[in-house]
């Protein structure tokens, strides 16, 4: 354990404490049974999940995911058979077609979320766990661990699978659809990555890397905390690995008041790094509300052209047609695929709008230091984080249709200008949710 973390450690009668990453409440650590979950006693956020034989299971899932990632990107996903001619595409082929059509921002977004990040997720787990399995220490474990956290946030294989199903329904009205091996391997890859993320126990990982239990600072078991929150005790929790360390000394009283926590010790933005994983440490996310509002306002502005301008341009023997997101929903409904129509409407129209409203509500309530129902606002925040990625559904549908429907004189599908605007809305709302610090919800309320 680091020197900063061990500063509070004492004799064996002291009890280790942990801090909630969502409300910053200090709590005494308790024993978690195998497959059990430890939750915050105030906001009910998940603090820790304990898994039996965690690292070996995760390594097995990650190795299988690496193999399936190669299969998924080397073989065709789906094909169209027209008059005996078969047109097939891989995921990289769809990215290439979008790039050649001048839609390089969309091409880059799809490449990152469906190819690069899943690869980083699988390879990152293997990089960390395989040396441990062989009795060695992984090289640059801290940097790889931080990269793995980013890959888990931006990898969207599950959304891609749903987008492929919607694309298959649309393609079935054009020609005979031939499913490729990559479609099934992508489905298996989705399940393996989800299983690996669920089984991965970060505490077990750092315990093996450091050779000591993952215990935080300790206080006497019969003595109350100096303050109810970690910031109030001058402690800072790492958002990447969860280590609780001591913050830097305060600069001024005004800076402490800006943090709005009782007896808080000020930590300048990105002035310190986690002694374990190297991530930036801060008592509260620097300029959280300003960055949240900046991303949110930009998303609101782009939401209008994303729904008004055409998202797809279709040219055929019967003329040209420009489809918006809503017209695509209407097409699925009138063609009899009403479950998919409802799904696309929720993912592509309702979810982005509700995300904007929810993040705006959280930001306004934090700006005015509202004490209204903090537990309910915390649930809204978790819901926004959970559903944010599903708005990418229409982007993946467009990528597959653009790559496959290229029959020159017969029919051609190209991505419209709204596709880039809609992709930007999805990314900006995700950045807005990441920029918002949920601990601001609880700072206005006196710690219980």
CATH number, domain of 379, equals 1.20.140
Tokens linked to 418: 């709204």
Q: What is the mean pLDDT of residues 344-359?
A: 92
- 143-152, 157-166, 228-237: segment of lowest average pLDDT: 228-237
Percentage of the chain lying above the pLDDT 70 cut: 85
When comparing pLDDT for 163 and 16, which is higher?
Answer: 163
- SS3 of residue 312 by DSSP: strand
Q: In this model, does residue 385 exceed pLDDT 60?
A: yes
Of the spans 95-104, 252-261, 325-334, which averages the highest pLDDT?
A: 95-104
Both 242 and 326 in a single domain? no
SS3 content of the chain, % helix, strand, coil (to 5): 55, 15, 30
Residue 239: pLDDT band by 50, 70, 90 thresholds? confident
Residue 244 has pLDDT above 90, yes or no: no
Q: Note whether 264 and 231 are within 8 A (CB).
A: yes
Q: Quick one: pLDDT at residue 251?
A: 41
Question: pLDDT at residue 261 above 60?
Answer: no
| Average pLDDT estimate for 315-325 | 73
Mean pLDDT of 301-306: 94
Would you say how long the chain is, in residues? 448
**What is the band of 223 on the pLDDT scale with cuts at 50, 70, 90?**
low
Lowest mean pLDDT among 180-194, 261-275, 325-339, 373-387: 261-275
Q: Is residue 448 part of a domain?
A: no
- 49-90 tens-digit pLDDT: 888 889 999 999 999 999 999 999 999 998 888 777 788 889
Q: What angle do CA 396, 400, 401 make, to 5 degrees?
A: 115
On whether residue 27 sits in a domain, the answer given is yes
323 and 271, same domain (yes or no): no
Q: 354 and 233: one domain?
A: no
| pLDDT value for 264 | 36
Q: pLDDT tens across 163-213, in order?
A: 998 888 888 877 788 889 999 999 999 999 999 999 999 888 988 887 654
At residue 211, the pLDDT reads 63
Quote the distance between the C-alpha of residue 172 and its chain's center.
32
pLDDT bracket for residue 228 (50, 70, 90): confident
Task: Return the structure tokens found at 405.
Answer: 């429907």
Q: Are residues 358 and 261 in the same domain?
A: no
C-alpha separations of 46 from 57, 161, 243 in Å: 21, 27, 15
Where does residue 444 rank: exposed (0-12), middle (13-18), buried (19+ CB within 10 A)? middle
Q: What is residue 358's predicted lDDT score, i.e. its pLDDT?
A: 96
Same domain, 168 and 274: no
- Domain presence at residue 43: yes
Q: Which of 89, 159, 174, 105 is nearest to 402 (CA)?
A: 89
Task: Write the DSSP string, 3-35.
Answer: HHHHTT--STTEEEEEE-TTT-BEEE-----TT
pLDDT at 426 over 80: yes
- For residues 118 and 25, state if they share a domain: no
**Same domain for 318 and 300:** yes
Residue 10 has pLDDT above 90, yes or no: no
Do 439 and 294 share a structural domain?
yes
Does residue 205 sit within a domain? no
* 245 shares a domain with 297: no
Report the chain's mean pLDDT, rounded to a whole number: 84
**Of the listed ranges 88-102, 104-118, 285-299, the one predicted with least confidence:** 88-102
User: Are 83 and 7 within one domain?
Assistant: no
Domain boundary among 281, 298, 321: 281
Structural domain containing residue 239? 3-50+210-281
Domain boundary residue, one of 149, 167, 200: 200
Contacts of 283 (CB under 8 A, 6+ apart): 231, 236, 247, 259, 261, 264, 265, 266, 267
Q: Do 182 and 235 have their domain in common?
A: no
Residues 220 and 131 in one domain: no
Domain endpoint, select from 139, 167, 200: 200
Number of domains in the chain: 3
Mean pLDDT lowest among 68-72, 223-227, 300-304, 324-328: 223-227
Residue 18 lies in a domain: yes
Distance CA 145, CA 37 (A): 22
């Amino acid at each position: 354990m680091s020197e900063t973390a061990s500063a509070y450690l004492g004799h064996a009668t002291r009890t280790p404490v942990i801090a909630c990453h969502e409300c910053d409440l200090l709590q005494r650590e308790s024993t978690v049974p195998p497959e059990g979950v430890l939750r915050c006693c105030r906001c009910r956020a998940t603090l820790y999940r304990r898994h039996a034989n965690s690292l070996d299971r995760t390594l097995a899932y990650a190795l299988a995911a690496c193999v399936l990632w190669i299969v998924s990107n080397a073989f065709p996903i789906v094909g169209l058979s027209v008059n005996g001619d078969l047109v097939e595409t891989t995921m990289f082929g769809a990215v290439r077609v979008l790039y050649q059509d001048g839609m390089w921002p969309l091409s880059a977004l799809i490449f990152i979320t469906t190819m690069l990040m899943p690869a980083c997720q699988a390879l990152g787990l293997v990089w960390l766990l395989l040396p441990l399995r062989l009795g060695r220490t992984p090289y640059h474990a801290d940097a790889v661990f931080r990269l793995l956290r980013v890959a888990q946030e931006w990898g969207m294989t599950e959304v891609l699978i749903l987008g492929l199903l919607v694309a298959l329904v649309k393609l079935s009205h054009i020609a005979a659809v031939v499913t490729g091996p990559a479609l099934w391997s992508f489905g298996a890859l989705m399940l393996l990555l989800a299983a690996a993320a669920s089984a991965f126990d970060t505490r077990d990982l750092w315990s093996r890397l450091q050779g000591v239990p993952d215990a935080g600072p300790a206080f006497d078991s019969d003595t109350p905390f100096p303050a109810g929150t970690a910031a109030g005790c001058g402690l800072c929790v790492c958002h990447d690995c969860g280590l609780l360390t001591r913050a830097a000394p305060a600069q001024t009283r005004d800076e402490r008041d800006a943090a709005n926590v009782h007896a808080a010790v000020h930590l300048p933005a990105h002035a310190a790094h986690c002694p374990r994983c190297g991530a930036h440490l801060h008592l509260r996310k620097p300029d959280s509300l300003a960055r949240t509002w900046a991303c949110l306002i930009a998303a609101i502005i782009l939401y209008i052209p994303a729904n008004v301008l055409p998202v797809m341009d279709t040219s055929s023997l019967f003329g040209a047609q420009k489809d918006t997101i809503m017209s695509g929903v209407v097409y699925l409904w009138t063609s009899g695929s009403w479950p998919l129509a409802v799904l696309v409407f929720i993912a592509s129209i309702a979810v982005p709008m509700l995300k904007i409203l929810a993040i705006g509500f959280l930001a306004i309530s934090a700006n005015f230091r509202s004490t209204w129902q903090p537990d309910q606002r915390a649930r809204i925040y978790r819901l926004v984080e959970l559903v944010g990625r599903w708005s990418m559904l229409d982007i993946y549908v467009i990528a597959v249709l653009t790559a496959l429907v290229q029959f020159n004189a017969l029919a051609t599908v190209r991505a419209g200008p709204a596709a880039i605007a809609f992709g930007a809305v999805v990314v900006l709302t995700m950045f807005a949710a990441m920029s918002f610090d949920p601990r601001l919800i609880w700072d206005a309320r006196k710690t219980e």
